Amino acid sequence: MVPNLENLPRTIVVERRDAVPVVRMIDQRLLPYEEAYLETSDWRMVVDAIKTLAVRGAPAIGVAGAAAVMLSAYEAADFDDFSQRLSAAAAEIEHARPTAVNLAWAVRRAMELAADMARDGGEEPAAIAEALFALCEEMIREDEAVNRAIGRYGAALLPDNCAVLTHCNAGSLATAFYGTALGVVYAAFEQGKLRRVYSDETRPVGQGARLTVWELSRAGVPVTLICDDMAASVMAAGKVDAVVVGADRIAANGDTANKIGTLGVAVLARHFGIPFYVAAPRSTIDLSLADGAGIVIEQRSAAEVLPRPIPGVDVENPAFDVTPAHLISAIITEVGVFAPNDLEKELWK
């Protein structure tokens, strides 16, 4: 039972057309009904794609952020004030979305490379832009390798013949390729351990209903779509053996921000005695925050909740919530599986 991963698109690639750098992303706003790609050499378009969720998911927006820095470097290379232009663009790119730390992490990684080259060898701007292109290619390869490692570690935790419930899309579409939570699913499926995935719809944007079910069905993994308010009854019926979700930012104590609704799923999982796993790369862990109280939660447009306003009705639309560490059975990373409280001690000892 090998998942048909060749049926899944590459979420984001960097390539050259007649020597011009191009960033190519599947437009996730149009899925599941239309498979179309955005192609651009303009870093501002990549920022717009991040803000409007054409590209989304913490690792994928990290790569997109680095790719935007790369495009801005090519643009700035023709100007005397290269460094100032690059820094101004990087600041805008880094703040395109606030919650997923992978975006800031990737932008800073790109900017550190640029700063090192400018300082050490006094490299020309054009050479820095070329190096940033190579860095993006490397980050894309690295992300897939990291996800495959997360998948192997996570699959080992699951029982035979299991059904997994997931929330949002922490799949291949949320990463360069393969996925974090769905990486665990793909690895378990390949090992013949996984019977089915229950995908929460994930209101309001429907990452589960539109993206997770599309991705899993293309990969040939049995998937059942449920509305968010059905998770409790599916668990009560004994249909779920484990919950596996992704993460946008994990604080030093293991508190985890992920798509809105994840907290509710974690509370339910605890109630029904179902293990609740978070699968995420180390780049999602933010040791600068002691706990989840410091995580900035993105507030998005009311129109995502209520497309046509109703006079007199206020709408809230926090895009993420924070699951406290005590509700998380384990955090699955590319270097192993950790109790939330042990993250800092084990990973950066």
The arrangement of strands across the sheet holding 249-251 comes to 285-286, 249-251, 256-259, 320-323
Tokens describing residue 343? 């993250």
Tokens describing residue 275? 């293990």
What is the number of alpha carbons within 13 Å of residue 330 lying toward its C-beta? Answer: 17
170 binds ligand MRU per the rule CB under 6 A: yes
73 binds ligand MRU per the rule CB under 6 A: no
Of the two residues 85 and 259, which places its CB atom closer to ligand MRU in the complex?
A: 259
Instruction: Give the span between the Cα atoms of 216 and 8, in whole angstroms.
Output: 9
Tokens describing residue 72? 């801005």
Instruction: Give the span between the Cα atoms of 203 and 326, in whole angstroms.
Output: 25
CB of 329 vs ligand MRU, minimal distance in Å: 17
Q: What are residue 311's phi and psi, to 5 degrees? A: -55, 135
> Can you tell me which residue has the tokens 């990969």?
219
Among the residue ranges 172-180, 191-199, 234-242, 328-336, the one whose residues contact ligand MRU (CB under 6 A): 172-180
CB of 344 vs ligand MRU, minimal distance in Å: 20
Tokens describing residue 135? 């860095």
The correct pick among 11, 72, 172, 175 for binding ligand MRU (CB under 6 A) is: 175
> Could you write out the DSSP letters of every residue in 304-327?
GT-SS--TT-----BSEEEE-GGG
CB of 167 vs ligand MRU, minimal distance in Å: 7
Tokens describing residue 189? 């499926």
Instruction: Give the span between the Cα atoms of 280 and 151, in whole angstroms.
Output: 10
The binding track of 106-145 with respect to ligand MRU, each residue x by CB under 6 A or -, is ----------------------------------------
Among residues 296, 175, 142, 193, the alpha carbon closest in space to that of 246 is found at 175
259 binds ligand MRU per the rule CB under 6 A: yes
Of the two residues 59 and 125, which places its CB atom closer to ligand MRU in the complex?
A: 59
247 binds ligand MRU per the rule CB under 6 A: yes
Of the two residues 57 and 65, which places its CB atom closer to ligand MRU in the complex?
A: 57
258 binds ligand MRU per the rule CB under 6 A: yes
Start-to-end CA distance of the chain, whole Å, equals: 39
List binders of ligand MRU among 18-57 (CB under 6 A).
56-57
Catalytic option among 248, 255, 286, 321 = 248
Of the two residues 168 and 265, which places its CB atom closer to ligand MRU in the complex?
A: 168
Question: How distant, in Å, are the alpha carbons of 26, 57, 341 from that of 172?
Answer: 11, 9, 28
**Catalytic residue check, 291:** no
CB of 28 vs ligand MRU, minimal distance in Å: 8
164 binds ligand MRU per the rule CB under 6 A: no
58 binds ligand MRU per the rule CB under 6 A: yes
The correct pick among 63, 66, 174, 244 for binding ligand MRU (CB under 6 A) is: 174
Q: Please report, as ranges, the residues that interact with ligand MRU according to CB under 6 A.
A: 56-59, 100, 168, 170, 174-175, 180, 207, 246-248, 258-259, 319
Catalytic residues: 248
